[in-house]
Amino acid sequence: MNATSTASDASGALMLYRENGQFKTSYAADQQLLPIAQDRWFMVALIAFCFFAVPLIASDYVLRALVIPFLILTIAAIGLNILVGYCGQISLGSAGFMGVGAYVAYNLTVRVPQLNFLVVLLLSGGSAALVGIAFGTPSLRIKGLYLAVATLAAQFFLDWAFARLPWFTADSPSGSVSTNPIELLGWRVERPVDKYLLVLGLLCLLTLAGKNLSRSHIGRSWMATRDMDVAAEVIGVRPIVAKLSAFAVSSFYAGVAGALWGFIHLGSWEPAAFSVTMSLNLLFMIIIGGLGSMVGSFFGAAFFVLLPLLLNRIPGMLGIDLSTAMKSHMEAMIFGGLIVIFLAIEPHGLARLWAIGKEKLRIWPFPH
Amino acid sequence: MKMTMPNSIGWIAAAACAAAGLASTAAAEDAKAAKEQFIPLLVYRTGPYAPNGTPWADAKQDYIKLINARDGGVNGVKLTYEECETEYKTDRGVECYERLKGKGPTGATLFDPQSTGITFALTERAPVDKIPLMTLGYGRSESQDGQVFKWNFPLLGTYWTAADVLVQEIAKREGGFEKLKGKKIALVYHDSPFGKEPIPLLEERAKLDGFTLVKIPVTAPGVEQKSVWLEVRQQHPDYVLLWGWGVMNSTALKEAQATAFPRDHLLGVWWSGAEPDVKDVGEGAKGYSALTIQYGAGLSKVQKDILKYVYDKGQGTGPREEVGTVLYNRGLIIQMLSVEAVRRAQERYGKGKPMTGEQVRWGLENLALDQKKLDALGFGEMLKPLGTSCIDHLGASYARIQTWDGSKWVAGELYEADQQIIKPMVRSAADAYAASKNITRRTGQDCQS
């Protein structure tokens, strides 16, 4: 295909991406999540594609090794983004909160096996939220890097607790736990497709909830606190409510993601699965993806989950015979390089690039 | 109508499409092969455990090359392989497993994850995919009970047999088990499932023999152990058992030297007794003893064959001088047992045919390698005869003590683990696992299949 035809195809398609003639006649229409009709159609098609087409075309490998971890980490990234991106409270303890979710879910399924898994998820998210509130209280006095250090302490404390307190692992001598298949009202979530659909459904619900929360008065109080906490207090935002609710909501997401990571993705895990490395990765995900942006959480998680695997496999796909160690070193080097390049091009992350792209499309082909 | 989704989910679709494309090209390549047996190799040549992971991985590949070059495969079935780097991380290991399990005309032969953490994660998946797991000298100790763990094969040793042999060695040095009473033994362990595995057995033996067990965890990867050895100094144990892997071992030996803990009272598991662990410490590690699975360092017949058929032709995977080191030899033993499982399976399911994972599982469960067969394979000096069964997935539980003399490992006495103590513990742990997973013990009939 030559350049001209690409351009004309594109212009034909892109001319469609404009809101001329779409008049809003009510406040509700004006305030909806996707005010542009094309976006709405795109979203319907996309969701339909994810729910109906992906299970048909994706192989087990793609689902189990790529898509499921990506979806679960997206949930965790959204949670962390609520705290860091929307409320401005830096946290290095998110993997610890994921661990809380995972271990609470494990204990519930072991000790109360008749419990429905969705209830288990809610309770593990709820417990993580409580722990999050407890470790979030220092945020009322300290800010910025100091808070990051305080949350790092939370991470280390939780790591210690999972490794040392035998209650969490139901007295497993090796310190690792393993889960049983999940059953939801007769639906046995065992095949990769079932797992995928469960995680996808939850992700959609949680994304929707997170997006709506961030647009509600509570989300506005988070953003006011982030932008200037003194000014926020002056206009009547109570910092204790704003900050602790952000910690609670964020940890709830992390808890749910942790339970899914343990039960759906790993199946069996050791405390190291929720180590500080995971916390740092989640923080990098939202920084690369875009702070304070839902779509940024998706981009960030994809960047961190899919890109390394892709880089690892590119030499093989191109037929270049590299040693296993060399491939692994290349993966690390190129991945690190890409992080630097993307942040140099756009410090506000991939979400900002996406927004710029959309903005350009709306005025294309007649930029002012 | 009010739309309620941000358009971000588009990324999922894009990602899924890209990935689906990758997978399908890989599948197409495999379809051509017919008389081939695919052996997946999970390795770690990078990361904190690379010095130990590399000779192990090299040996596994070299043995495959040897079988293809010298024997033309197993009864004419060529062995193929692909490596996948796990960096000793559980999530990467799971990805590698998913990537490789379906390759080759009959899928993956078996998996040797080279990591206890990955083994735990794969134990849940292997029965579903019908691929056996071989965990020679590591993994879940209770998985030697083949009636519950149908797909796990901790051949030749588990952490419970290792711990038992180490206590036997201490008893021998002290002059009998009754002399252990009142002694204090410290376990300095890698804080992970790998390091925690021996604890139940050591606790049992402590009760039985009357010694005190002090447990001192080391945070992985174990480069910082100052506080650990301070605690060892305060506790003043008679012996220290070292349960480390990778850089943790050499660090421990250096710290033992720095705190003047006598090295001849320091005993390591078989993953703490290879050249990379002691080389940097050199004279400082003199007198340190560690286990090895029957055979330590040295060139026996099979290594000479590898030098002749693989290295002399320029096909060697690693450096030539690495052949015959402790972990290299262990890699050879692992790969030999994998290949013999395939051969055994062929005897039942058809000679000269590629075997499925399910058939290889039968082969692993019915291994019978007597001295004659081992001699023919070139392993006569390295291994004692072994045989597996439905009840016993271990095969043999011998382990040798070897001592570092400052420049090389010197082989010592060979012990057999005391199954009187281990068997009941295995049984009760396996029963507990079976109860939590709703598995019923395999009966005589299932054992035939």
- DSSP secondary structure, B82-135, as one string: EEEE-TT-HHHHHHHHHHHTT-STT----B--SSHHHHHHHHHHHHHHT--EE-
Is B6 or B393 the better-scoring residue by pLDDT?
B393
Kindly determine whether residue B9 and residue A266, on different chains, have CB atoms separated by under 8 Å: no
**C-alpha distances in angstroms, B164 versus B30, B91, B145, B269, B399?**
45, 32, 17, 11, 10
Token pair listed for B106: 């009959």
Contacting residues of B for A324, CB less than 8 Å apart: 43, 45, 57, 83-85
- Establish whether domains B33-157+297-396 and B159-292+401-419 are of one fold: yes
In single-letter form, the type of residue at position B135 comes to T
The H or E element containing residue B395 is: none
The CA–CA distances, whole Å, from B366 to B131, B379, B449 equal: 16, 19, 11
State how far the Cα of A88 lies from the Cα of A144, in Å rounded to an integer: 8
Interchain contact, A207 vs B6, CB within 8 Å: yes
3-state secondary structure (DSSP) of residue B37? strand
State mean pLDDT over B196-216: 94
Assess A220–B contact: CB distance below 8 Å, yes or no. no
User: β-strand B184-190 against B212-218: which pairing, if any?
Assistant: parallel
| Residues of chain A contacting residue B87, judged by C-beta atoms under 8 Å apart | 328
Interchain proximity A174–B193, CB inside 8 Å:
yes
Reported confidence tier of residue B149, pLDDT bands at 50, 70, 90: very high
Q: How many Cβ atoms sit within 10 Å of the Cβ of residue B406?
A: 13
Q: H/E element holding A191?
A: none
| Minimal Cβ distance to A33: which of B3, B87, B217 | B3
- The pLDDT tens digits of the residues spanning A75-118 come to 999 999 999 999 999 999 999 999 999 999 999 998 888 889 99
Tell me the chain A residues in contact with residue B220 when contact means C-beta distances shorter than 8 Å. 272
- Token pair belonging to A113: 């096996």
Where helices occur in B2-105 by DSSP H, the ranges are: 10-31, 50-66, 90-100
Give chain A positions within 8 Å (CB) of B124: 178-179, 267-268
The per-residue pLDDT of chain B, averaged, comes to: 88
With CA atoms as reference, the chain A residue closest to B202 would be A173
* Model confidence pLDDT, tens digit, residues A197-253: 999 999 999 999 999 999 999 999 999 999 998 999 999 999 999 999 999 999 999
What is the C-alpha separation between A234 and A220, in angstroms, rounded? 14
**Chain A contact present for B213, CB below 8 A:** no
First-to-last alpha carbon distance for chain B, in angstroms, is: 60
Give the other-Cβ count within 10 Å of B423's Cβ.
15
Fold designation for B159-292+401-419: Rossmann fold (3.40.50)
Which residues between 110 and 139 in chain A have a beta carbon less than 8 angstroms from any beta carbon of chain B? 110
Q: Following CA atoms A272, A276, A281, A282 in sequence, which dihedral angle do they give, to the nearest 10 degrees?
A: 100
Judging by beta carbons within 10 Å of its beta carbon (0-12, 13-18, 19+), is residue B372 exposed, middle or buried? exposed
Interface contact B20-A34, CB threshold 8 A: no
What pLDDT was estimated at residue B449?
A: 60
Is B63 strand, coil or helix?
Answer: helix
Closest chain A residue by Cα to residue B103: A61
CA torsion angle for A104, A105, A106, A107 (degrees, to 10)?
50
The tens digit of pLDDT for each residue in A293-327 reads 999 999 999 999 999 888 888 888 888 888 888 88
Buried b (16+ CB within 10 A) or exposed e, A299-314: bbbbbbbbbbbbbbbb
> Closest to B3 (Cβ–Cβ): which among A34, A64, A329?
A34
CATH 3.40.50.150 for the B33-157+297-396 domain, yes or no: no
Both structure tokens of A365: 């082909």
Cα separation, B10 vs A356, in Å, equals 17
With an 8 Å Cβ cutoff, is A46 touching chain B? Answer: yes
What's the confidence (pLDDT) of residue A114? 86
Q: Determine, for residues B437 and A180 on separate chains, whether the beta-carbon distance falls below 8 Å.
A: yes
φ/ψ of A268, rounded to 5, equals: -155, 135
Burial class of A154 by CB neighbour count within 10 A (0 to 12, 13 to 18, 19+)? buried
Q: Has residue B31 got a pLDDT over 70? A: no
Tokens of A144: 């910025």
Domains of chain B, by residue range, sit at: 33-157+297-396, 159-292+401-419
CA distance A120 to A206: 16
Instruction: List the single residue in A174, A266, A306 with the smallest CB-CB distance to B121.
Output: A266
Could you tell me which of B333, B306, B319 has the C-alpha nearest to residue B155?
B333
Greatest mean pLDDT among A255-269, A307-321, B432-446 lies in A255-269
- Tell me if B7 and A204 make a contact (CB, 8 A cut-off): no
Counting every residue written for chain A, the total comes to 368
Secondary element (H or E) of residue B339: helix B326-349
Q: What is the pLDDT of residue B2?
A: 41
Distance CA B350, CA B362 (A): 13
Question: Other C-beta atoms within 10 Å of A31: how many?
Answer: 11
- Residue from the list A54, A62, A208 with its beta carbon closest to the beta carbon of B13: A54
User: What pLDDT does residue B442 have?
Assistant: 87
Say if residue A164's pLDDT is above 60: yes
In chain A, residues with a C-beta closer than 8 Å to the C-beta of B143 are none
What is the structure's pLDDT at A365?
72
- Find residues 226-265 of chain B whose CB sits inside 8 Å of chain A: none
Q: Is any Cβ of chain A less than 8 angstroms from the Cβ of B200? A: yes
Q: How far is CA B444 from CA A188, B37, B133, B146, in A?
A: 30, 30, 22, 12
**Which residue among B9, B17, B98 sits closest to A65, beta carbon to beta carbon?**
B98
- CB A163 to CB B191 under 8 A? yes
Residues pairing with A314 in the sheet: none
pTM: 0.86
Chain B residues in contact with A33 (beta carbon < 8 A): 2-6
Instruction: Find the helix or strand (DSSP H, E) in which A188 lies.
Output: strand A187-189
A61 touches chain B (CB under 8 A): yes
Structure confidence at residue A368 (pLDDT):
62
Residues near B71 by beta carbon (within 8 Å), at least 6 away in sequence: none
The yes-or-no verdict on residue B411 having pLDDT over 60 is: yes
Tell me, yes or no, if B29 comes closer than 8 A to chain A by beta carbon. no
Nearest CA in chain A to B123: A268
CA distance B438 to chain A (A): 9
Among A342-351, B25-34, B187-196, the least confident range: B25-34
Report ipTM for this prediction: 0.82
- Range in A25-39, B129-143, B388-402 with the lowest mean pLDDT: A25-39
CB pairs under 8 A between A and B: 190
